[in-house]
Amino acid sequence: MSRTAARLWLVLASTLGALAIAEAALRYVACAEAGIDSFSAVRERYLGNPLAIFPMKTRVAGGLEPGKTVGNRMRVNGRGFRGRDVSTDKQSGRVRVVCLGGSSVFGTTSTGDAKTWPAQLQFLANRSKVEARIEVLNGGVPGYISPHSVDRFETMFLPLDCDVVVLSNLHNDLLDSRIVRLGYDPRETAPVTVDGWAERVLSHSAIWLRLVAWRTHRAKSENVEQIAKVADGDLRRKLMRQVTDRESGATYNPYLIPADVAKYRGTLERLVRVAEEAGIASVLCTQPLSFRVSPPGDVHPKADTMLGIYFPEFRKFCEAYQAYNDVVREVAADTSATLFDAEEVMPRDAVYFKDHVHYTDIGCRQYAQLLLDRLIETDLLSTR
């Protein structure tokens, strides 16, 4: 072999070795940022693969398609909510609980119907010291905001003779108000789209995924910035004029619009009122992120990495979380509702979270146990 050829082989081997080291390092970093061990799960998150069970166009209008299944992992019953079929009339000696909310209630990241936290709540309750037989209905629908959940409660679950209603709806309310104002939903575009066999092969590389996701995120950021100049202009000036001298250091947060916060408060109060009139106990839940956002502004660095790849304004979104959780606490204090302060009691351990807001199977079990403890503490699982 000539000296030139040997040098070329040495350069090639060195380059491939450096790429292999960089690939391994970036895979480790990506898994650490996401709080999960499997790079294949990280890849799925980058690709944004949707579930056929709730197509985007029918999430709000049609909810879940009755009888729809996705393999042996998800089943929607004939009434249109996840899990087994239930009768209209409740058997004597049973307590029926309905859980309402978005994808974290539905269990988008759960590996099966029995692994969601509503299903785990039923399982754990019926193994506890509670004397009544507990039946838990999963009323979650991915993408739902709190008004949709309350509408669903009134139309679908009130006729089912429920005893307790649990609402865990916050994340989507925050996102939806901003998306409606912009007329643009950055989540609709996956961080990485694959076109053709070559890109499908490349999509198994952490380096390639990170580069493409960065390019997509930059394009989304520029798009949001341009749209926001028009959408936020008058609103920003109006809100900043309302700032007092004491708050003169305040900055504009597009997720903390007083009218949106008031609407959210009103929806929570409406659920409590409707439940109270029907003789149903209500439970309002704060919602935890995989990292703490307290006090506002003290946001975990993860919000700028893997967790922010879908939405350019993720940091501002996180900063508003605490204010919305405080609304949940205030409504529970001012009404007959029971507070389950999940944001306060849920451990921030990567083993419990699939991403920033959805739970792993172990996380669902932990959440269900904490909620069960609260329901037992407040005597809400006794037969009436």
Mean pLDDT, range 136-144, rounded to an integer: 92
Q: CA–CA separation, 227 vs 317, rounded Å?
A: 17
Tokens 């109270």, located at residue: 276
pLDDT at 377: 95
pLDDT at 59: 42
**For residue 296, cis peptide bond before it (omega within 30 degrees of 0):** no
**CA 4 vs CA 7, 11, 14, 15, 225: distances in Å:** 5, 11, 15, 16, 52
Identify the band that residue 305 occupies on the pLDDT scale cut at 50, 70 and 90: low
The dihedral built from the CA positions of residue 177, 178, 180 and 185, taken in this order, carries a sign that is negative
Mean pLDDT, range 153-161, rounded to an integer: 93
Contact 221, 312 (CB under 8 A): yes
Tokens 């403890």, located at residue: 373
Does residue 30 or residue 297 have the better pLDDT?
30
Does residue 103 or residue 8 have the better pLDDT?
103
Does residue 234 or residue 24 have the better pLDDT?
24
pLDDT tens for residues 39-87? 887 888 788 765 544 443 344 445 677 888 776 678 888 888 998 888 8
Q: CA–CA separation, 222 vs 47, rounded Å?
A: 21
| pLDDT winner (highest mean) among 23-37, 69-83, 318-332 | 318-332
pLDDT at 250: 61
Mean pLDDT, range 236-265, rounded to an integer: 74
Strands 69-70 and 74-75 turn out to be antiparallel
Identify the band that residue 182 occupies on the pLDDT scale cut at 50, 70 and 90: confident
**Residue 293, SS3?**
strand
User: How far is CA 136 from its chain centroid?
Assistant: 20
Mean pLDDT, range 100-105, rounded to an integer: 94
pLDDT at 295: 58
Record the tokens describing residue 211, joined without a space: 């580069």
Does residue 326 or residue 312 have the better pLDDT?
326
Record the tokens describing residue 271, joined without a space: 């659920």
Mean of all residue pLDDT scores within the chain: 85
Mean pLDDT, range 367-371, rounded to an integer: 98
Please state whether the predicted TM-score (pTM) of the whole model is above 0.85: no
Contact 306, 291 (CB under 8 A): no
Identify the band that residue 317 occupies on the pLDDT scale cut at 50, 70 and 90: confident
Identify the band that residue 93 occupies on the pLDDT scale cut at 50, 70 and 90: confident
Identify the band that residue 14 occupies on the pLDDT scale cut at 50, 70 and 90: confident
Q: CA–CA separation, 282 vs 98, rounded Å?
A: 10
Mean pLDDT, range 81-94, rounded to an integer: 87
Nearest to 255 by CA among 183, 299, 184, 320: 320
- Point out the least confidently predicted range of 15-29, 217-231, 253-267, 297-311: 297-311
Q: CA–CA separation, 284 vs 264, rounded Å?
A: 12
